Amino acid sequence: MVRLERRAKPSALWAVLAPLVAVLITMCAGGILFAVLGKDPFEAIATIFWEPLFGEFAEFYRPQLLVKGGPLVLIAIGLSLGFRAGVWNIGAEGQYIVGALCGAGVALAAYPAEHALLFPAMILAGLAGGWAWAMIPALLKWRFGASEILVSLMLVYVAERLLKAMSLGVMKNPDGMGFPGSRNLQDYPSAHNAEIFADTGLHWGVVAALIAVIASYVLLSRHVLGFHIRLSGQAPRAARFAGVSPGRLMLFCMGVSGALAGAAGLFEVAGPAGQIGISFNAGYGFTAIIVAFLGRLHPVGIALAGALMALTYIGGEIAQGDLGLPAAAIQLFQGMLLFFLLAVDVLTHFRLQFARKGTM
How confident is the model over 13-67, as pLDDT tens digits? 888 888 899 999 999 999 999 999 999 999 999 999 999 999 888 899 999 999 9
Distance CA 162, CA 80 (A): 27
303 neighbors 295 (Cβ within 8 angstroms): yes
Please tell me the pTM assigned to this model: 0.93
pLDDT higher than threshold 70 for residue 358 = no
User: Per-domain residue ranges for the chain?
Assistant: 69-298
* Residues in CB range of 69: below 8 A, 6 or more apart: 206, 209, 306, 307, 309, 310
Categorize the per-residue pLDDT at 240 as very low, low, confident or very high, splitting at 50, 70 and 90: confident
Does residue 74 have a pLDDT over 70? Answer: yes
What value does the mean pLDDT of the chain take?
A: 93
For residue 158, what are the contacts with CB-CB under 8 A and spacing of at least 6? Answer: 94
- pLDDT higher than 90, residue 10: no
Contact 327, 115 (CB under 8 A): no
- Peptide bond connecting 189 to the previous residue in cis, omega within 30 degrees of 0: no
Q: Which residues, in sequence order, are CB contacts of 127 under 8 Å at separation 6+?
A: 99, 259, 260, 262, 263, 266
Angle between helix 148-168 and helix 118-144 axes, rounded to 10 deg: 140
DSSP 236: H
- Close Cβ partners of 147 (under 8 Å, ≥ 6 residues apart): 141
